[in-house]
Structure 1
Amino acid sequence: MPDMGDRIGGALGGAFYGIWTGFWHGLALRLVGMAAVMISMGTLEAVSEAVIGSSEPALHAFADTVDGAEYGSDAYECQDLW
């Protein structure tokens, strides 16, 4: 029958083994998770850049049209005051 020293040694060894293996398994999973997040963020950035980049000239043209209409209406209002 094991004595108290064997029990304490077994408990400490088991705790160390659990912490050691948990750390390395957690580290591996953490690295895999970080890689997956970075890949998905890169993909999301590429897709959003493609969508925004393709519509950017149209947005600028629309903004110029709106600005022109605002300036034109202001000029028209100023003419009415004379």
Structure 2
Amino acid sequence: MNEFTVQGPDTLSVLLQAYRKEARMTKREAARRLGIKKQAFSALERNPGAVSTERVLKLLNVLGVEVVMRAKTEGPKGVSTFRGGPAW
């Protein structure tokens, strides 16, 4: 699959399902690899915003998905944002 922009839990839910299917992994297998029950996995995949970031990142790792973060080139209403990275 290509790169995708995640704009919220709904987008993430669709992508998690797509990446799982691309990996030819059943919900049962993904749940087993995460150490959770299938019902808990189904809930995670349906609503990833309701679980910890740690659990979502662990699932992405199981699915072989890499997370890349970058600043937007334009902020709200066309306001330019920094280009070199966070200023901390």
Q: Which has the higher contact order (CA 8 A, sep 6+)?
A: 2
Structure with a larger share of its residues in helix: 1
Please tell me whether Structure 1 or Structure 2 has the larger radius of gyration of its CA atoms. Answer: 1
